[in-house]
Amino acid sequence: MRGELAAAIERLRPTSRDVAWVSPGNLHLTVKFLGNVAPERIDAVVAALTDAVAGLGVFDAAIRGLGAFPSLARPRVIWAGVTVGTGAMVEVARRVDEALAAVGFSREARPFSPHVTLGRVRRPGPNSTLANALRAEEAREFGQIRVGGVRLMRSELSPHGARYSELAAAALRGHAERRV
């Protein structure tokens, strides 16, 4: 599926020079962004994540179609959407948000919308070429994944893009590995 999403990024790249595209190795679905977390809080976050997914079973998710937040007319974030498995992902996000609120993190203000970020527009504004390219891909199937857990990731930004490292993982019931 990463290959399919990477190919979509390459098809979109000529439509706008003002987009910071995500490298294929960094494509992921964020359940909750925590920002800077003090090292002494990591154990509490891991425990909250483990509790949040306890009892939830593995599920499949399909990635289909492209779009933009807040809209195609004024895109800020370019994304690939989740179709199959949306309800299960929303439930995971709800539980994670609730568990992390119990250990002092702010609740999400907006409803969770499962997606894979493909790029971020540096200077948002109208771009009809990009909007048309996204419309042309709104029905494209990118593939299916088995969701087996959540991972706590560290993101380190550099001039060459983000570098991610896994700090911990919490498996869903029925998943032998401890990875998504």
User: Which of the 8 DSSP states describes residue 27?
Assistant: -
Q: Which residue has the tokens 């990731």?
A: 153
- Contact criterion met (CB below 8 Å) for 121 and 78: yes
**Which residues have C-beta within 8 Å of that of residue 159, sequence separation ≥ 6?**
none
Burial bucket for residue 117 (CB in 10 Å: 0-12, 13-18, 19+) = middle
Helical axes 42-53 vs 86-101, angle rounded to 10°: 140
Q: Is 28 noted as a catalytic residue in this protein? A: yes
Selected catalytic residue, list 115, 118, 119, 145: 115
Selected catalytic residue, list 6, 15, 26, 28: 28
Residues with active-site annotation: 28, 115
